[in-house]
Amino acid sequence: MDRLDRLRLFVRIVERHSFTEAAADLGHSRSTATEAIRMLEADLGARLLDRTTRHVSPTPDGQEFYRRCLLILADLTEAEDAVRGGQPRGRLRVDAHGLLTRTFLLPHLPEFLARHPLLDLHLGQGDRLVDLLREGVDCVIRAGEPDEDTMIRHPLGVLDEVVIASPDYLARHGTPSTPEALEGHAMVGFLSSRTGGVLPLDFMLDGRPREVALPARITVNDSETMAALARQGLGLAQAPRYRFAADIAAGRLVEVLTPFAPPPTPLFALFPPSRRRTLRVRVFLAWLDELFGRAAGRPGAS
């Protein structure tokens, strides 16, 4: 293993917090990785990593060395991409909610892959928050203001929010005309992945945001389950419009309180600073800009 390979291995160990997982990512054995880091530390005359049986973390010297390695490897990647004619190659790991992926990305994915024939794509799907560095993910797409201060935010657009209920639920409980008329109503509770609490319904009332928390006999942490329960008449639910679009069109769900809908939810691509200059991430972000610009009808989006 040459010096650059040791730097790449060190960076991956810091990001994965694991010798075993980092070695597997780069096609090495754990013993090879252990020896390579031992040699790197010996060459530098400094301890770079604190090791326990369950966790690996950088020392203060290791953290500084990690930051400098990111710059070195980013410059090298940029130089290699230029020599190779600007063709992105390798595996790009992306995480996005399943329905968002199926609604916006999958219909146009053949176009993206044809445009970049040397690029492989792994799509992870879920509602949960992802530790990009630890899980080796290059980019995630998330709705709402992100809490990840260490991630770079790339805005993609906004998603309209709606409140819905089934016709059966509205027949039994009545159709509310204002947020104040929600007394006696119930909702399907959706648990926040950030706080673990049930998210209230959001409205705009007299130009100001208003939260309304309704009783929820059942709570879930999956948006597809939430939609299914709403279709069964178990309460009101709120989510971006695309989540319920097919149900609304088919009459299985009815949009309510439209004049009081909250501001649209922002949509972001998030990626670690270490991925900022990789060509794989840059071409993917450019494609997302084109894709969501096209969906929003923005001028110049082909």
Q: Read off the pLDDT of residues 186-215 as tens digits, 9 standing for 90 and up.
A: 999 999 877 788 999 999 998 899 999 999
Domain 3-83 has CATH 1.10.3720.10: no
For the chain, which residues make up each domain, given as ranges? Answer: 3-83, 90-143+273-296, 161-263
Q: What's the rounded Cα separation, in Å, for the pair 163 and 201? A: 8
Global pTM value = 0.70
Q: What is the mean pLDDT of residues 161-176?
A: 96
Q: What's the rounded Cα separation, in Å, for the pair 14 and 256? A: 49
250, amino acid identity: A
Q: Which residue has the higher pLDDT, 85 or 63?
A: 63
161-263 to CATH, choices 3.40.1190.10, 3.40.190.10, 3.40.47.10, 3.40.50.1370: 3.40.190.10
For 246, the enclosing helix (H) or strand (E) is helix 241-250
pLDDT of residue 131: 62
Contact 101, 112 (CB under 8 A): no
> Which ranges in 116-163 belong to alpha helices (H)?
132-135
pLDDT of residue 182: 96
Q: Which residue has the higher pLDDT, 186 or 82?
A: 186
Domain at 90-143+273-296, CATH homologous superfamily = Periplasmic binding protein-like II (3.40.190.10)
Whether 146 has a pLDDT exceeding 90, the answer reads: no
Q: Do domains 3-83 and 90-143+273-296 have the same CATH topology?
A: no
Whether 285 has a pLDDT exceeding 70, the answer reads: yes
Cβ neighbours, 10 Å, residue 179: 17
